[in-house]
Amino acid sequence: MRPSSIILPILLGSLLACTSNRESPQLISAPTLEKGESFFNKNNDSAFYYFNLVATGATDSLEIAMAYTYMGIIQAYEGDHYGGQESLLKSLTYLDEHKKEDQECLGSNYHELGNICLNLKNYEAAIDYYNKALKYITHPKAEAIALNSIALTYQKKGDYDQAIGLYKSLLVKSKDKKKEYARVLSNYAKTKWLKDSTYPAGPELQQALQIRKDSNDIRGLNASYAHLSDYYSLSSPDSALYYAVKRYEIAREMNSPDDEVEALSKFITLSPTNLLKPYFVRYQYLTDSIQTAKNAAKNQFALIRYEAAKNKADNLQLQKDNAQKKTQLVVQRFLLALTILFFITAGIILILRYRRRRQQIEFASRQAIQEHQLKTSQKVHDVVANGLYRIMTDLEYKASLDKEELIDKIEVLYERSRDISYENPTVSKVPFHVKIDDLLESFGADHIKVLIFGNGPMLWSRTNAQIQHEVEHILQELMINMKKHSQANSVMIKFECQNGQVQIHYTDDGIGISPQVKHGNGLQNTGNRIKSIGGQYTFEHPVKGLKIHISFPIAQSS
């Protein structure tokens, strides 16, 4: 079990207590912080986004500290321990130990830093952070959890006497609290057994298990079954296997992949050889999925976190500059003016070049559309108009016209008119990922920022010309719709490949589209194009903006 999942309820209480002590929260940042809290532990991606807005935009130091604390907890819980450590240390820089309203947040930060160090097996640092947390913790339940964490760290470190001493004192304090007493008793018995393999820990472990059963403590049962399975591994393998199975069932009930992996690991060790395969397959699948999720979380949080850290560093540097001597300030302002002038000049040059390139692309696109329309009009004129005219002439001038002959002529005209819409896409000499970059970037402007992630040559290497042709038109239609209707300032298009599917995620911060609004011809045609390549799409309607998720299978190049 992750230590974060043990302390998380107490941390939430502490953070909410910090919120209640704020005298006059900023009107801009406070609602954003509350928005993040509403998503916390439900949709951590959204929660991280709103907390980042507070961290980079608020002026109240306690609000900023709380935002970084939340971000650190989310990162650590998702497996990004180093990123979480960085956020929590950043939070500490905004807190003052002499301010009473800051102290509960300080306790929360230090305890979570201890949890991270424990996960990273940096036991000395973990104990140091837990002791710092105790200086600011006033809630008895939070204090008991912090002491239990210290004892657990001593146990992991192999300093069993220190751990046993702490557990003994906690047993006395927790006799009237069933869940707390069961947790301490189970940890105490396991530590005694780890110190002395002949110690009869079974009765105490069974007592803790029964208390947790009576209290319906699901997470506690998970820990008890783990301890019992370890204890009986050598002396009674059948019993160890039984408790491993029970832990596996509890882990599945909690929907905790980490605990399920640990249970399967014990399961595989204890099970007969002929029964291992399905458990090993499940174990391998879960470990791969957990690692993939952790990697994804690190990348996802890093993008937002980089901007927050950069902006905050600029602000701190500016404050430091303003406090320096007048002569230094004059020099710095002069250098700053030169730097700004340089970037403005460079920016103007880049903007002019960009606009010129965009105009060239738009002109080429309009010219291609006009040529296509002209070509289509000519085909319609040659095929449909002329064909209809011939049939009308037959009807007008032939005294008798065979019905079958008329049907045959109409059918030929029908087939030829259908062929008008089919035309094999031409193969461009420009690499497809470059073409897509150019297409998307052409819709950027001074007030519209277009961000592109994951678009590389490897992504499109196995897609055929037909798919590339349709994808190009799909993206073009989405960007045109954005520019015409969304009033967006920022657009992000993310490409990735998962399980043989190309995934395209479109996000903008515009006015969005109401779910009740009927899609026009453009979006309907886009949907038809996606279906034509075997793909699927979904629209999301957040409070602000629009999200569209598109996926389609990779086709082998022909």
- 122-126, 186-190, 225-229, 300-304: least confidently modelled range: 300-304
Look over the chain and give the mean of its residue pLDDT values, rounded to a whole number. Answer: 80
Task: Note whether residue 147 is domain-resident.
Answer: yes
Instruction: Please name the residues in contact with 401: beta carbons below 8 A apart, sequence gap of 6 or more.
Output: 394, 395
DSSP annotation of 425: P
> Where among 376, 394, 419 does a domain terminate?
419
Task: Note whether residue 223 is domain-resident.
Answer: no
DSSP annotation of 117: H
The CATH code of the domain that includes 548 is 3.30.565.10
Under a CB-based contact definition with an 8 Å cutoff, are residues 267 and 248 in contact? yes
For the beta carbon of residue 185, count every other beta carbon within 10 angstroms.
22
How far the first Cα of the chain sits from its last, in Å, is 50
In the predicted model, is pLDDT for residue 383 greater than 70? no
Same domain, yes or no, for 30 and 89? yes
Same domain, yes or no, for 464 and 525? yes
Q: What are the pLDDT digits (tens) for 136-145?
A: 988 888 888 8
In the predicted model, is pLDDT for residue 14 greater than 70? no
pLDDT grade for 185, boundaries at 50, 70 and 90: very high
Q: Report the alpha-carbon distance of residue 36 to residue 395 in Å, rounded.
A: 73
pLDDT grade for 381, boundaries at 50, 70 and 90: very low
Q: Report the alpha-carbon distance of residue 451 to residue 507 in Å, rounded.
A: 10
The neighbouring-strand residues paired with 552 are 502
Q: Report the alpha-carbon distance of residue 16 to residue 38 in Å, rounded.
A: 12
Task: Note whether residue 231 is domain-resident.
Answer: no
Q: Of 484 and 285, which is predicted with more confidence?
A: 484
Nearest to 179 by CA among 148, 138, 152, 203: 148
Nearest to 307 by CA among 492, 444, 438: 492
Q: Report the alpha-carbon distance of residue 454 to residue 148 in Å, rounded.
A: 44
Same domain, yes or no, for 369 and 454? no
- For residue 5, the model assigns a pLDDT of 40
3-state secondary structure of 126: helix
114-144 in b/e form (b: 16+ CB < 10 A) is bbbbbbeeebebbbebbebbeebbeeeebbb
The CATH code of the domain that includes 48 is 1.25.40.10
Task: Note whether residue 195 is domain-resident.
Answer: no
In the predicted model, is pLDDT for residue 305 greater than 70? no
Q: Report the alpha-carbon distance of residue 488 to residue 548 in Å, rounded.
A: 14
pLDDT grade for 151, boundaries at 50, 70 and 90: very high
Under a CB-based contact definition with an 8 Å cutoff, are residues 533 and 425 in contact? no
3-state secondary structure of 325: coil
Q: Of 312 and 339, which is predicted with more confidence?
A: 339
CA angle 391, 395, 398 (to 5 degrees): 115
Same domain, yes or no, for 6 and 84? yes
Q: What are phi and psi of 47, to 5 degrees?
A: -60, -45
Task: Note whether residue 272 is domain-resident.
Answer: no
Q: What are the pLDDT digits (tens) for 20-57?
A: 333 333 333 456 888 888 888 788 888 888 898 888 88
Q: Which helix (DSSP H) or strand (DSSP E) does residue 552 occupy? A: strand 546-553
Q: Of 181 and 408, which is predicted with more confidence?
A: 181
Helical spans, DSSP H, in 380-520: 386-397, 403-419, 432-441, 457-460, 465-481
* Secondary structure (H, E, C), 190-201: HHHHHHCCCCCC
In the predicted model, is pLDDT for residue 11 greater than 60? no
- For residue 428, the model assigns a pLDDT of 63
3-state secondary structure of 236: coil
Helical spans, DSSP H, in 484-548: 521-532
pLDDT grade for 356, boundaries at 50, 70 and 90: confident
Sign of CA dihedral 512, 515, 521, 522: positive
Instruction: Quote the tokens at residue 429.
Output: 């000499």
Q: Report the alpha-carbon distance of residue 59 to residue 53 in Å, rounded.
A: 11
pLDDT grade for 382, boundaries at 50, 70 and 90: very low
Under a CB-based contact definition with an 8 Å cutoff, are residues 8 and 226 in contact? no
Burial class of residue 419, CB neighbours in 10 A (0-12, 13-18, 19+): exposed
Under a CB-based contact definition with an 8 Å cutoff, are residues 250 and 265 in contact? no
Q: What is the DSSP string of 437-460?
A: HHHHHTT-BTTBEEEEES--HHHH
Torsion angle, CA of 440/442/444/445, rounded to 10 degrees? Answer: 180
Average pLDDT over residues 153-165: 94
Same domain, yes or no, for 481 and 349? no
- For residue 21, the model assigns a pLDDT of 36
Same domain, yes or no, for 306 and 343? no
Task: Note whether residue 193 is domain-resident.
Answer: no
- For residue 420, the model assigns a pLDDT of 64
Q: Report the alpha-carbon distance of residue 143 to residue 133 in Å, rounded.
A: 9
Instruction: Please name the residues in contact with 125: beta carbons below 8 A apart, sequence gap of 6 or more.
Output: 114, 117
What is the number of domains present in the chain? 3
Same domain, yes or no, for 359 and 467? no
Task: Note whether residue 332 is domain-resident.
Answer: no
Task: Note whether residue 289 is domain-resident.
Answer: no
Q: Of 393 and 484, which is predicted with more confidence?
A: 484
Q: What are the pLDDT digits (tens) for 438-457?
A: 888 877 777 889 999 999 99
Instruction: Please name the residues in contact with 494: beta carbons below 8 A apart, sequence gap of 6 or more.
Output: 452, 453, 454, 503, 504, 505, 507
Q: Report the alpha-carbon distance of residue 146 to residue 184 in Å, rounded.
A: 12
50-69 in b/e form (b: 16+ CB < 10 A) is bbbbbbbbbebebbbbbbbb
Q: Report the alpha-carbon distance of residue 452 to residue 179 in Å, rounded.
A: 50
Q: What are phi and psi of 423, to 5 degrees?
A: -150, 125
Same domain, yes or no, for 315 and 395? no
Q: Report the alpha-carbon distance of residue 319 to residue 382 in Å, rounded.
A: 73
Same domain, yes or no, for 356 and 468? no
> Where among 386, 419, 452 does a domain terminate?
419
Q: Report the alpha-carbon distance of residue 227 to residue 247 in Å, rounded.
A: 10
- For residue 195, the model assigns a pLDDT of 93
Q: Report the alpha-carbon distance of residue 378 to residue 420 in Å, rounded.
A: 10
Same domain, yes or no, for 304 and 370? no
Side chain identity at residue 297, one-letter code:
A
The whole domain housing 480 covers 432-553
- The owner of tokens 């704020």 is 22
Same domain, yes or no, for 57 and 136? yes
Q: Report the alpha-carbon distance of residue 517 to residue 127 in Å, rounded.
A: 58
Q: Of 417 and 161, which is predicted with more confidence?
A: 161
Instruction: Quote the tokens at residue 393.
Output: 């002439």
Instruction: Quote the tokens at residue 108.
Output: 């929360």
Q: Of 386 and 539, which is predicted with more confidence?
A: 539
3-state secondary structure of 493: strand
In the predicted model, is pLDDT for residue 249 greater than 90? no
Same domain, yes or no, for 364 and 413? yes
> Where among 393, 419, 445 does a domain terminate?
419
- For residue 465, the model assigns a pLDDT of 87
